[in-house]
Structure 1
């Protein structure tokens, strides 16, 4: 059994990036130099503006909070295996944040002088760090030097595996769209639009003499420098820069950076004396790099069928897995994946609309509810949605509703095709109960508020997290205002809503043991959603509604807003914000690992550290439930 300190350090580090990319001998050598640091709760690791230490840090046990000096707002919390304090050492600058032990913590201090040579030698380590810093826009350390680790370009993040992808030939477009020097700019613009291309090759005697890009039209025509009736010769870039076919990814990137251009013209021998064989754009390079949010977003918007979108969604899941593997902060991950989810839904709606026999008879709004409405639907879970359409005369109501029910059915079918399961409770816009005009929705929500039985509270909990994904936002805003007006006139509703938030059982029993399912399909599994996530989500909802705050649906962001509104409870609310992200991240990891929703956890498959991370959130769950029980006098409701 291993018992030396350095061996135990190596055994821990090998489970976390970037150390998991090291060879065993390298890690053993580095571990000998590691210093173990113990920090009591609320003690400083380093202060803002302090000169960088000779070490950066990895959390072994406990947690470290990062914040601005003098601010109580926690910007990030580093958990077991997280790396922090590295950027200032590499950039040779002072610390931009204050690091303080969030609880009793053990840190491994890694000497930069021993680590840096390994990172320079090991491409996987360097790429991990570049990806982390370049992607972590929420991290103030990365703003000034984003993508410039060791002076390297951010384009270095193309490596998604051990293969040397930058030395592979890159695919390019052979479908050339060309014109002559005398072709009118208006004709060129129409042709580019028709063929959905970003550039036009100008030829003379079948040889390339110039190129016109979208940028040329924006800068030279849209600004009034040249009229739209001018010829291609006036705005084309010439002489043209050409390259031979067979370029590698690395050569393509360097060629574009060298000449500060976004398109490469490829000819038979690389000169303007031979015919053009293809054009390579920055987009082609991004596609070759791999899963990238900008590439995926563009692909989503170009998709013309749900089947095509389904393939793209596999890329989104790969992107999500990559972000989690690199320990990118979940707040940033959620925003990116939510944007891609919303874009996918919008494209499904547009595809469905294009297949309808008629245009919508009135304005409408598509509401995404539940986890998608909160911006927390990282996995392909089931769909919860609704339609609001404009009020119409009574005699037109059912005809209008029939149109939107048919549209809702087509959209729900499309969402199912791309990976979002049908709601088992049929809470979808294809159901008449979830497709109403604005006045009807006001009446429905007023009924829920004034008659808050168990069913009404459940429906409110799902519906009140809605977010506008498509259509007229004004309809949703008017409904939101109506909900707040009714709720404020009937404060007892908040008590019932709080009572509903307390229905979910505690996540732990005596001695902080996990409470597992006692029977059924998931016997002996831990229900992460019901016992840990939902209590925190439900509490955030009732608290934010009681403050009449709209347009903040995300659970973590709701708690951050509550921390501003109630400074006396700031510490608890920020702990809830952290716990909600930690639990969502854990569920997402489990879902990706087992290819399911991540809801039910097999405890015997978790290691000790994973169990510790989960249990750390349980105290927060109990504390927030105690707060809403007292705040909304739930016990009085039961008398």
Structure 2
């Protein structure tokens, strides 16, 4: 007689990934192992620091809230068909969050041991779990959640309880292999493992791995008396060896250990036992790799009590950036994550600077980043562009209030300099009285730029209009943004002047599509990637998005993607501009990391033919974009 309950469970599960990739018989067998869990509203499924259960959960009816206990913030809400509670089992660590029933709920508890074989048998099941961890969504195939985190926001937000893209990082493994033959005695190999301080030893034959012996094997088979210490390695080893290619990501390593329920992986050149061993990856190695992920770095930034500590963390951020570039992680995600970590550094410097002040701020204020950092495009160590806006005060209090915030701004800019952001040569920083103003003063300054758009005013507005709130009151920023749009509506001629400024950057190429290089100065014969290629795209995106009165999109690539939605007739061009922006930003970042500089000036003779071709492909897009701007805003021919 059929188990009608298990059949009902199977019928429910096959409606959702990854269970829909499992055939009917296997799914019904799995369903027979499932336990049904009932939870009243408000009752816990598991709590922070609780040891992991031997199962993970699927919501059948009701809803479950995942909550960060440290700051009592909502991380996610799991509804019908959503999976939760799996990561702690993979990471072999206690739960890092609370799970409570949001309402009366029925859950299916799926035993990990019963589920594990299906991750090996069905490739789609394993891929689903890897991709769900890597994308940080409950369902990586969900269009609604694609590219988003549990918060549902467009841009990734890094918290200590989510891991964003660290799953894409390649694992660090031990290349110093300790090995023996199958005739080596257990006593001898145990002594060697103790001397070399390793937890696993490979058994080799003709330099190829045929078995592996771990501390656990010695405890379970020798310490219990099952085998004497004089026995041979062949009697204790696990064989055949489960092997993987040496280039593994964190997510793949987690999945591999979970699938086979093992704590050590043998890595070979091609991932098979037919090539020599390249190293061993232990669960301890994996945990060390996890320690250099964005979530851990974010937590370290927030805990930093000294500027020197933040400077050290920034070095780790650069290592993370290099890893993302090496692994070809999408540039949009890379720039968001690195920018958010950089913003966190600035925010913590601001916190430490506030602690140095003799009194709290007299009124509310906002610290904003401008230029490339305001666009979330400042991946390398460049100079500062920032400003401070404070709440309006009575005229009698203005001088003292300004004095307070200038002192605070000097602490902040000095701290930023110490962690790697050089002072702005043009002094466009909050420590400059011209860039430390009340909201009304800022409105007056912006109105002047828009109503009197000379070359200097256009330059100032082009820098200032790419601003991003890093610390303080969002309301002040919103009011200033509203004022900018009101003023541009009053003075539409401003857009023509802004367009003229956007067209001042010279063409990237000359006759025969050759690169135009610098004629003189310190960078003679170098190609200025920023001025000739990136800035035309940045300036055009800013102009066009402002003309559409679109708020809260500062990133250049994202601006072009939004423009593609707003203007279907120019969709192909704008999407090409978005691609070109990301390609150029990635190229500049790679060059900067390679030469330990800003990546702005490129020595063309160091580029491969392929690299030159990729760069030139973006030039045609830039030319088409500038032609569109020239026609749309009726600008005289400035492209000669």
Q: TM-score, normalised by structure 2?
A: 0.58
Give me the whole-angstrom Cα distance separating, in 1, the residues matched to 2:489 and 2:176: 62
CA contact (8 A) 1:135 1:328 kept: no
CA contact (8 A) 1:158 1:290 kept: no
Q: In the alignment, which residue of structure 1 is the partner of 2:175?
A: 163
**How big is each residue's C-alpha offset from its partner over 1:42-91, in whole Å with a ceiling of 9 and x where there is no partner?**
xxxxxxxxxxxxxxxxxxxxxxxxxxxxxxxxxxxxxxxxxxxxxxxxxx
Q: In the alignment, which residue of structure 2 is the partner of 1:297?
A: 298
- Where do 5+ consecutive residues of structure 2 fail to align? 1-119, 121-127, 148-165, 179-192, 199-249, 262-282
Q: In the alignment, which residue of structure 2 is the partner of 1:359?
A: 360
Give me the whole-angstrom Cα distance separating, in 2, the residues matched to 1:284 and 1:473: 42
Aligned CA distance change for structure 1 residues 162 and 573 (closer, same or farther; 3 Å): farther
Give me the whole-angstrom Cα distance separating, in 2, the residues matched to 1:307 and 1:293: 19
Q: In the alignment, which residue of structure 2 is the partner of 1:633?
A: 634
Q: In the alignment, which residue of structure 1 is the partner of 2:150?
A: none
**How big is each residue's C-alpha offset from its partner over 1:539-578, in whole Å with a ceiling of 9 and x where there is no partner?**
0000000011111000000001111111111110000000
CA contact (8 A) 2:367 2:388 kept: yes
Give me the whole-angstrom Cα distance separating, in 1, the residues matched to 2:304 and 2:284: 16
Q: In the alignment, which residue of structure 2 is the partner of 1:573?
A: 574
CA contact (8 A) 1:529 1:599 kept: yes
CA contact (8 A) 2:504 2:638 kept: no
Aligned CA distance change for structure 1 residues 305 and 518 (closer, same or farther; 3 Å): same
Aligned CA distance change for structure 1 residues 169 and 159 (closer, same or farther; 3 Å): farther
Deviation of 1:291 after TM superposition, in Å, equals: 2.2
1:504-519 alignment runs, 5 A limit? 504-519=505-520
Q: In the alignment, which residue of structure 1 is the partner of 2:558?
A: 557
CA contact (8 A) 1:160 1:290 kept: no
Aligned CA distance change for structure 1 residues 142 and 551 (closer, same or farther; 3 Å): closer
Give me the whole-angstrom Cα distance separating, in 1, the residues matched to 2:607 and 2:365: 46
The ranges of structure 1 where at least 4 consecutive aligned residues each deviate by more than 4 angstroms after the TM superposition are: 129-146, 154-158, 164-170, 282-288
Give me the whole-angstrom Cα distance separating, in 2, the residues matched to 1:473 and 1:156: 33
CA contact (8 A) 2:132 2:140 kept: no
Q: In the alignment, which residue of structure 2 is the partner of 1:622?
A: 623
Q: In the alignment, which residue of structure 2 is the partner of 1:368?
A: 369
Deviation of 1:511 after TM superposition, in Å, equals: 1.3
Deviation of 1:159 after TM superposition, in Å, equals: 1.9
Give me the whole-angstrom Cα distance separating, in 2, the residues matched to 1:385 and 1:314: 22
Residue 495, structure 1, aligned to residue 496, structure 2: yes
CA contact (8 A) 1:130 1:157 kept: no
1:20-31 alignment runs, 5 A limit? none
Q: Could you say what secondary structure the match of 1:635 adopts?
A: coil
- Where do 5+ consecutive residues of structure 1 fail to align? 1-119, 121-128, 147-153, 171-248, 261-281
Aligned CA distance change for structure 1 residues 583 and 156 (closer, same or farther; 3 Å): closer
Q: Could you say what secondary structure the match of 2:378 adopts?
A: coil
CA contact (8 A) 1:536 1:576 kept: yes
Give me the whole-angstrom Cα distance separating, in 1, the residues matched to 2:508 and 2:167: 45
Aligned CA distance change for structure 1 residues 500 and 137 (closer, same or farther; 3 Å): farther
Give me the whole-angstrom Cα distance separating, in 2, the residues matched to 1:296 and 1:507: 38
**How big is each residue's C-alpha offset from its partner over 1:238-279, in whole Å with a ceiling of 9 and x where there is no partner?**
xxxxxxxxxxx99x999x989x9xxxxxxxxxxxxxxxxxxx
Give me the whole-angstrom Cα distance separating, in 2, the residues matched to 1:574 and 1:137: 26
Q: In the alignment, which residue of structure 1 is the partner of 2:421?
A: 420
**How big is each residue's C-alpha offset from its partner over 1:433-486, in whole Å with a ceiling of 9 and x where there is no partner?**
000000000000000000100100000000000011110000010000001000
Q: In the alignment, which residue of structure 2 is the partner of 1:594?
A: 595
Q: Could you say what secondary structure the match of 1:366 adopts?
A: strand
Give me the whole-angstrom Cα distance separating, in 1, the residues matched to 2:316 and 2:131: 19
Q: In the alignment, which residue of structure 2 is the partner of 1:454?
A: 455
RMSD (CA atoms): 3.8
Aligned CA distance change for structure 1 residues 441 and 634 (closer, same or farther; 3 Å): same
Aligned CA distance change for structure 1 residues 584 and 393 (closer, same or farther; 3 Å): same
Q: In the alignment, which residue of structure 1 is the partner of 2:440?
A: 439
Aligned CA distance change for structure 1 residues 369 and 394 (closer, same or farther; 3 Å): same
Deviation of 1:615 after TM superposition, in Å, equals: 0.3
**How big is each residue's C-alpha offset from its partner over 1:302-331, in whole Å with a ceiling of 9 and x where there is no partner?**
101111000000000000000000011101
Q: Could you say what secondary structure the match of 1:478 adopts?
A: helix
Residue 337, structure 1, aligned to residue 338, structure 2: yes
1:404-419 alignment runs, 5 A limit? 404-419=405-420
1:98-177 alignment runs, 5 A limit? 135=134, 159-160=171-172, 163=175
Q: In the alignment, which residue of structure 2 is the partner of 1:394?
A: 395
Q: Could you say what secondary structure the match of 2:409 adopts?
A: helix
Q: Could you say what secondary structure the match of 1:493 adopts?
A: helix
**How big is each residue's C-alpha offset from its partner over 1:502-530, in whole Å with a ceiling of 9 and x where there is no partner?**
00000001111000001000000000000
Deviation of 1:142 after TM superposition, in Å, equals: 11
Q: Could you say what secondary structure the match of 1:375 adopts?
A: coil
**How big is each residue's C-alpha offset from its partner over 1:210-235, in whole Å with a ceiling of 9 and x where there is no partner?**
xxxxxxxxxxxxxxxxxxxxxxxxxx
Deviation of 1:289 after TM superposition, in Å, equals: 3.8
1:169-568 alignment runs, 5 A limit? 286-568=287-569
Aligned CA distance change for structure 1 residues 324 and 443 (closer, same or farther; 3 Å): same
Q: TM-score, normalised by structure 1?
A: 0.59
**How big is each residue's C-alpha offset from its partner over 1:564-622, in whole Å with a ceiling of 9 and x where there is no partner?**
11111111000000000000000000000000000000000000000011000000111
Give me the whole-angstrom Cα distance separating, in 2, the residues matched to 1:156 and 1:365: 35
Aligned CA distance change for structure 1 residues 314 and 464 (closer, same or farther; 3 Å): same
- The aligned length equals 405
